[in-house]
């Protein structure tokens, strides 16, 4: 069970963290506690495995990465772990997931790749294919973002 204060702190971390020298001070003041108390609770939540990590999201379109593709790979099940680790090691890969194939869709491993254009994404996939020996894959390019949000656990 989480305390009311823990829920307030989690809620404050769900949004944008201020880009300032002391962002946790600002977040702490917003909920009426000291920075020290705020950080002690965050540390406790981290130690207990409730908060696993902090991440930053970069708008790739504004940084020169105009194309992205979900690459669907057909990988032998006994190789998924090893191949997934190799694929995940590529700096152009931001996501790597194993999913169940469907009767008419044989792919079971997925990577998201980003590049300046579609040709670059194809080249990245070709390099990954060469590194892993996985030759059956399909690139699914994003055409329009319809929704992109982060989970919100507490209001």
Q: What is the pLDDT of residues 22-81, one digit of tens each?
A: 999 999 999 999 999 999 999 999 999 999 877 766 555 555 667 889 999 999 999 999
Domain limits for position 17: 4-47
The pTM is what? 0.65
Joined tokens for residue 100: 């169940």
**What would the pLDDT profile of 110-126 be if each residue is shown by its tens digit?**
999 988 999 999 999 99
Q: What is the mean pLDDT of residues 80-89?
A: 97
Position 19 scores a pLDDT of: 85
Domain membership flag for residue 154: no
Domain membership flag for residue 67: yes
| Sheet containing strand 137-141, strands side by side | 93-98, 109-115, 67-73, 137-141
Number of domains in the chain: 2
- 67 and 105 both lie in a single domain: yes
Q: Are strands 93-98 and 109-115 parallel, antiparallel or unpaired?
A: antiparallel
Position 134 scores a pLDDT of: 98
- 125 and 95 both lie in a single domain: yes
């Amino acid at each position: 069970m989480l305390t009311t204060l823990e829920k307030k702190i989690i809620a404050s971390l769900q949004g944008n963290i201020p880009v300032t020298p002391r962002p946790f001070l600002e977040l702490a003041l917003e909920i009426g506690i000291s920075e020290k108390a705020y950080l002690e609770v965050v540390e406790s939540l981290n130690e207990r495995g409730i908060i696993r990590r902090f991440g930053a999201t970069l708008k790739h379109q504004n940084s020169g990465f105009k194309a992205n593709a979900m690459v669907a790979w057909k990988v032998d099940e006994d190789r998924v772990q090893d191949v997934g680790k190799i694929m995940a090691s590529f700096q152009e890969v931001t996501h790597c997931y194993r999913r169940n194939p469907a009767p008419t869709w044989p792919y079971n491993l997925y990577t998201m790749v980003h590049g300046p254009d579609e040709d670059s994404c194809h080249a990245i996939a070709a390099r990954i294919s060469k590194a892993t020996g996985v030759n059956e894959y399909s690139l699914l390019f994003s055409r329009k973002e319809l929704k992109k949000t982060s989970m919100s656990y507490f209001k």
